[in-house]
Amino acid sequence: MRRIDIFDTTLRDGEQSAGINLNTAEKMEIARQLERFGATVIEAGFPASSPGDFEAVQRIANTVKNSTVTGLARAMKSDIDTSWEALKGGEQPHLHVFLATSPIHMDYKLKKTPDQVVDIAVEAVKYAKKYFPLVQWSAEDAFRSDPEFLVRIINQVIKAGATTINIPDTVGYATPQEYGALFKFLKENVIGIDRVKLSAHCHNDLGMAVANSIAAIENGADQVEGTINGIGERAGNAALEEIAVALHIRKDIYGFETNINLQEIKRTSQLVSQLTGVVIQPNKAVVGKNAFAHESGIHQDGMLKNRETYEIITPELIGETTAPLALGKHSGRHAFKDRAITMGFELNDQQLNEAFAEFKKLADRKKEITEDDLFVLFTGKQIESADASIYELTNVQVQYGTSNVPTATVAADVPSGENVVVATTGAGSVEAIFNALELLVKGHVNILDYRVTSIGKGRDALGEAVVNLRFNGETYTGRDISQDVLEASAKAYLNAINRKLVKDQALLKVKEMVGQ
Ligand code: KIV
Ligand code: ZN
């Protein structure tokens, strides 16, 4: 069986999508999980794009050992130098350098002739090879490029030392047949194509990213790129869990294998959704919450007689176990610790003690603590608290009546060290809370998106709030989980504000260091 490499770009192309902003601790947690998931390559970020990205890529490169860690760079020396500083501690330093090759990108974006583009690409690859043993070169918007021009430029970058050639469908325009044909054409016409890894990178604008990726594999691609849950710019990237499961379930016709540990799919998907705040659509293939639900009587009857009547993938395959007994307020520390270990968390004594104290508080208010609740609790503890609480909510109170004007009073510890209390009204309870918090943070805040979802089932389920807002000209997403959705909403709002302020402080430090 031919082995297909899986290149994960959740932390780069995925993180690039609207409203997602992960801090370093969260990126580290996702990277560690991607390593367990079995990604061959993890694209940890774009080191030259910001000090935050640089730091995250560097920490991931220095930590992850079983996957190759890469970072994205434009075809320019300064980006390559910065990327080397971030990636040099990795097991196998790998760089991903890109340049657009389609007429529309060359004319309007780059304002370069095709000859100039070839020269820039070759120079960049040669320069990168001075540092990196592994260099992936991507022809941005390859699918809309002239295939003859692609052959010409790829011949040159291979000669310059590229070890992987990536052919992105940057705008998700291809059909499976066309995308597959492009790979076949390149396999037949590029000199030395068999000496390098050939890679596919598909966007999902027409909903064909997974099908296109598989068509590329059938026509010679050695690697496919994508993200967990298919997150990414616009309609997102190819969903890696779908590709891995499709290749596994239909190996009878494809005959390809990957290194993906299918049992880690559920957990990886849950973690990415929790930390990015991007909710998984319920009917999403493989990881949607209804992916294994059988609603109609006829289907349920069939399932009881023989599961294979309606089930082609088992929940167990992707690591969704039949939930073990829920824990409750009488559960002891020992059972709690055992559960953390069975669920694959590695908490130190202090983290475990803190998690247990929170568990006990929660168990006083909630009858059963489910696997989903524990996942959220353990994940929160495992991520070292990088979200400094610059503003910390100490109280929220709302007065609401169908014929009254909703009024919110919020109290929070503010940067000066004082505890400030503000009260104001709004058209609804949440608006009143957000209006009060806006007075507290003294800036202009625009709410771009706001969502509340429940973790697990039942009337006492925990509520998760995600707030995407614009504060003093920049967009941030905050999230929080609480038993009360109003409290979760207020905390998620302050979490977004705190993320912006933490980033401002980090930038200020960098400026001081370089003497600006
Ligand atoms: O979609 C794209 O073209 C990309 C490149 C940077 C590889 O993400
Ligand atoms: Zn992309």
Q: Which CATH number fits domain 392-512: 3.30.70.240, 3.30.160.270, 2.60.120.10, 1.10.1670.10?
A: 3.30.160.270
Please give the number of the atom of ligand 1 that sits closest to the Cα of 138: 7
- How far, in Å, is the centroid of ligand 2 from the Cα of 313? 29
Number of other CB atoms surrounding residue 325 within 10 Å: 11
Strand 445-455 versus strand 41-43 pairing type: unpaired
Residue 384 is predicted with a pLDDT of 57
How far apart CA 348 and CA 333 sit, in angstroms, is: 14
Contact 431, 413 (CB under 8 A): no
Pocket-testing residue among 170, 171, 212, 225, ligand 1, by greatest number of atoms within 8 A of Cβ: 170
Copy the structure tokens of residue 166: 């990536």
- How far, in Å, is the centroid of ligand 2 from the Cα of 22? 18
Pocket-testing residue among 106, 140, 202, ligand 1, by greatest number of atoms within 8 A of Cβ: 140
- How far, in Å, is the centroid of ligand 1 from the Cα of 116? 20
Name residues with Cβ closer than 5 Å to ligand 2, which is an ion: 13
Contact 246, 226 (CB under 8 A): no
Copy the structure tokens of residue 358: 């929170």
Residue 120 is predicted with a pLDDT of 98
- How far, in Å, is the centroid of ligand 1 from the Cα of 96? 10
Nearest C-alpha to atom 5 of ligand 1 is from which residue? Answer: 140
Burial of 298 (0-12, 13-18, 19+ CB in 10 A): exposed
Copy the structure tokens of residue 188: 């037949």
E strands in 115-267 = 134-140, 164-169, 197-202, 223-226, 256-258
How far apart CA 419 and CA 382 sit, in angstroms, is: 29
Please give the number of the atom of ligand 1 that sits closest to the Cα of 140: 3
Query: pTM for the complete prediction?
Result: 0.90
Q: Return the ligand number nearest the Cα of 226.
A: 2
Q: Return the ligand number nearest the Cα of 168.
A: 1
Residues linked to residue 447 through DSSP beta bridges, in sequence order: 469
Q: Return the ligand number nearest the Cα of 140.
A: 1
- How far, in Å, is the centroid of ligand 1 from the Cα of 276? 20
Residue 383's nearest CA partner among 449, 479, 287, 265 is 479
Give whole-number Cα distances, 296 to 166, 302, 320, in Å: 44, 10, 22
Residue 480's nearest CA partner among 441, 440, 433 is 433
Domain 2-276 top-level CATH class: alpha beta
**b vs e for 474-485, b when ≥16 Cβ sit within 10 Å of the residue's Cβ?**
ebbbbbbbbeeb
Copy the structure tokens of residue 71: 């970072």
Give whole-number Cα distances, 352 to 271, 365, 385, in Å: 19, 20, 14
Those residues with Cβ within 8 angstroms of residue 458's Cβ, 6 or more apart along the chain or in another chain: 368
13 assigned to a ligand binding site? yes
Alpha helices in 9-113, H assignment, sequence order: 24-37, 51-63, 77-87, 103-104
294 assigned to a ligand binding site? no
- How far, in Å, is the centroid of ligand 1 from the Cα of 288? 26
Contact 40, 223 (CB under 8 A): yes
The DSSP symbol for 221 reads: -
Q: What is the 3 state secondary structure string of 283-295?
A: CCCCCCCCCCCCC
Contact 391, 379 (CB under 8 A): no
Residue 63's nearest CA partner among 49, 48, 83, 44 is 44
222 assigned to a ligand binding site? no
- How far, in Å, is the centroid of ligand 1 from the Cα of 168? 6
- Domain ranges for the chain, please list them: 2-276, 333-382, 392-512
Pocket-testing residue among 201, 204, 225, ligand 1, by greatest number of atoms within 8 A of Cβ: 201
Ligand 1 site residues (CB inside 6 A) read 13, 98, 138, 140, 166, 168, 170, 201, 203
Residue 478's nearest CA partner among 443, 272, 488, 486 is 488
How far apart CA 193 and CA 164 sit, in angstroms, is: 9
Residue 273 is predicted with a pLDDT of 94
Print pLDDT tens along the chain (516 aa).
899 999 999 999 999 887 888 999 999 999 999 999 999 999 999 999 999 999 999 999 999 999 999 999 999 999 999 999 999 999 999 999 999 999 999 999 999 999 999 999 999 999 999 999 999 999 999 999 999 999 999 999 999 999 999 999 999 999 999 999 999 999 999 999 999 999 999 999 999 999 999 999 999 999 999 999 999 999 999 999 999 999 999 999 999 999 999 999 999 999 999 999 899 999 999 999 899 887 777 887 888 888 888 889 999 999 987 666 778 888 888 889 998 988 888 888 989 999 999 899 888 888 788 888 888 889 888 775 556 679 999 999 999 999 999 999 999 999 999 999 999 999 999 999 999 999 999 889 999 999 998 887 788 889 999 999 999 888 899 999 998 999 999 999 999 999 888 888 777 776 777 666
203 assigned to a ligand binding site? yes
